Amino acid sequence: MDGILNVYKEKGYTSHDVVSILRRLSSQKKVGHTGTLDPEAEGVLPICFGKATKTVEYITGQDKQYKARLRLGITTTTEDHTGEIIEQKEVDYNPIKIEEALLSFIGEYQQIPPMYSAIKIKGKKLYELARQGKVVEREPRTVYIHRIEIIKWLPPWEVEFIVNCSKGTYIRTLCVDIGEKLGCGGHMSALMRTQVGDFQLNNSLTLEQIKEKIKTQPFDQLLMPIPVLFENYPKVYVRSSADKSLLNGHTIYAPGLDVERSRGLQEGIVGVYTSHGVFVGLYQSIQEQNQVGYKPVKILI
């Protein structure tokens, strides 16, 4: 059983809880999630099964979209509503200033990861150190905010917004940084992940919906096939004479390529297919001793 399931993680579950439940429901040992969502957060959490677990890094590397709620005037130990209050300040709830502050983060942004995160420093997860009352210096990371749009004003303290961002962006920290910019502090009071790459909220399934569906259909029918994930990559096909070599994981050179069907020699990372159109994996274009070819990067068959 190989493929990806677009799961809607509800509040109260850890990402690991979701994996454990689906491992049991699918009777599949090889199951993995594609990016932690905190227990109090909800939304899109693609889950990979079987050989699709090899694609986790490609899914986690994709841009994401969130719907977040910012509570101004209160800073907390965890940067969200679950932490202890550190400081409380008066809020000047001025929509123009608030919107200006949010929009100022669009573009490249140096973000310091929160202490309550799974990032490791010297082999220790930051949240483990935070629970021991320790604070360690964290290096800023470059993230990218593509879009921020306010969707709901909730005076006198809150505002709800949509944010499209790069991999590795902490929305909790974004909320804290917006609060700092406004001079009143703030924290994230709610979070929903609405998109991971092409995985959308509107076609995700809750655990209860999955349980209902598998009463009348096999579990594997719920999965998105692996090749669909790489549909947007350039496609390269081999000739039948190169099928065996391809399936054995070898580098494929020009004589074995079906150049016409592949619409020329594609460059960069490509999806490679057998002469029968079966997706084999991701390959990197190479040029060795005047020979053009494709070297395997990730075999997924």
Same domain, 108 and 127: yes
Question: Which CA distances in Å does 149 have to 108, 155, 213?
Answer: 17, 17, 35
Same domain, 188 and 249: no
Report the mean per-residue pLDDT for the chain: 92
Cis peptide before 39 (omega within 30 of 0): no
Q: What is the pLDDT of residue 131?
A: 77
pLDDT per residue as tens digits for the range 172-182? 999 999 999 99
Catalytic residue list contains 38: yes
pLDDT per residue as tens digits for the range 110-153? 998 887 777 777 777 777 777 777 777 788 999 999 999 999 99
Are residues 49 and 5 in contact, defined by beta-carbon separation less than 8 angstroms?
yes
Separation of first and last alpha carbons in the chain: 12
How far is it between the farthest Cα atoms of the chain?
73
Burial grade of 138 (CB within 10 A; 0-12, 13-18, 19 or more): middle
Q: What is the pLDDT of residue 200?
A: 95
Q: Which residue among 2, 17, 38, 243 is the active-site one?
A: 38
Structural domain boundaries, residue 262 = 230-299
Q: What is the pLDDT of residue 172?
A: 95
Determine the average pLDDT of the residues in 96-100: 97
Same domain, 259 and 146: no
CATH of the domain at 43: 3.30.2350.10
Domains contained in the chain, number: 3
Determine the average pLDDT of the residues in 217-240: 93
The pTM for the full model equals 0.90
